[in-house]
Structure 1
């Protein structure tokens, strides 16, 4: 049976020199009672130093969210790994939902959970019941802060985040969808649990970005996951965005061309 001491929280952050951000993340619990591994992307003048044996800190000078995630994975030592950022708030007793899920469904390697938005509502349209596997749409809709995995399972299949994707790269989104897709393709079992473990107050990167840049990056994500079928997913996205009035018909040709440019840019980048 997994216990609280088996959980390790992997935090990606930038330019931190004190632990005030942890106080904000753990409003409803004492962060010093958890195993926490922090990757702090910073410079020589702004180091974060821990004197608590439960809190490990890696100050690094490289940029890129996926690089931070991978460094955390490489150095994680506990059994259950929570991926998270520095701008979330864990719910009270969040760990109970995680432990119950892994102790009840012992044959699963990881789970996707729910999170709340700044208004206290579900951040997305989630399934309402436990899911033994994720659909392609659910994989594409995954956020890293929803994910918890068994450390040994990830090490066994040697899966890591694709460093071509994520904040700090030309393809600033989709790294979590690619990660989950790779994990499932490797044979690991990933389910969905309809329980909230945290709230996230900020608007997601995709909602703050010009639509043309979204199609540029999203196309690369689709190609990375689906290969030649990426055009089908681009077409599906165009149809969905039209129905949701996120775009209009006059933009379709331009956005399709942007999608093709994104795919081409990713192919060229991987040849280097």
Structure 2
């Protein structure tokens, strides 16, 4: 009998292959809870301070567990890009300070990446009542511009080397902290797809997030222009078609002919902005 151990297959992926990159404002760092089951994972906490806010107060247990890096910037996309640059493990999960991470689902998603060669896996989440947020398919499926518009960053697990090699990063003109505060996740997926990388939605629950999220924002004055700008950035010159489809599908939330027309026909974003 040979004493040589077999090479580990996809099931050999462990927490030691994982970086969890939390993005947090300084006044919310203390709410971060790293799962105890992820002791072998690398943990990064990337903090940003709003004007007038205090510096981060990091609980000792969290400081001993994680690398805490204060960024001299605002905008969650900048924080996500810092996580991509700093991650030291094979896979990177983007965490938020209000998300509870379910390690089993994250590792199942990582095994999917290893098995398929995909660059990004978009998992599922439950809300604070343990109900599934959004739709959850029974099996993995390819992401496209048409089915990834409701992606959330805290559901994203990436193959770090593939993403780094592609040169794709989050568009720092979008996301929380920027005037165009919606759609940074959608644009990131769109850019990965344009770079020829495979992105999949997977049926694994990777975390719990409270019911409220920016994806539910539909106010006429601020949310519609920000949403339109993200669609235009993702789709380019073809954006009018998906904007019209989205306006029709969500008419019950808009209920204003003039605002719907402006959403569809007005140009809300240019690359020079």
- Bin the TM-score by the shorter chain: 0.7 to 0.9
Change (3 A) 1:63 1:79: same
| CA deviation after TM superposition for structure 1 residue 48, in Å | 5.3
Paired residue for 1:197?
A: 206
Change (3 A) 1:130 1:31: closer
User: Which of these residues, 226, 234, 255, is aligned with residue 260 of structure 2?
Assistant: 255
User: Which of these residues, 24, 27, 35, is aligned with residue 42 of structure 2?
Assistant: 35
TM-score by length of 2: 0.85
Change (3 A) 1:158 1:239: same
> SS at 1:271's partner residue?
coil
User: Which of these residues, 172, 190, 201, is aligned with residue 181 of structure 2?
Assistant: 172
| CA deviation after TM superposition for structure 1 residue 230, in Å | 1.1
Which string of whole-angstrom CA distances, capped at 9 and with x for unpartnered residues, describes residues 227-260 of structure 1? Answer: 1211111111111012xx2233xx1222322555
Change (3 A) 1:260 1:60: farther
Gaps spanning 5+ residues in structure 2: where? 1-11
Change (3 A) 1:100 1:207: same
Change (3 A) 1:271 1:109: closer
| CA deviation after TM superposition for structure 1 residue 134, in Å | 1.0
- Is contact 2:220–2:259 with CA below 8 Å preserved after alignment? no
Deviation larger for 160-169 or 113-122:
113-122
> SS at 1:172's partner residue?
coil
Gaps spanning 5+ residues in structure 1: where? none
Paired residue for 1:15?
A: 26
Whichever structure has more helix as a proportion of its residues is 1
Alpha-carbon RMSD: 2.3
Change (3 A) 1:129 1:32: closer
Matches within 5 A, 1:1-272: 1-16=12-27, 20-23=30-33, 26=35, 29-30=36-37, 32-42=39-49, 45-47=54-56, 52=64, 55-91=66-102, 93-103=104-114, 105-131=115-141, 133-208=142-217, 210-242=219-251, 245-248=252-255, 251-258=256-263, 260=265, 263-264=267-268, 266-267=269-270, 270-271=271-272
Aligned pairs, how many? 257
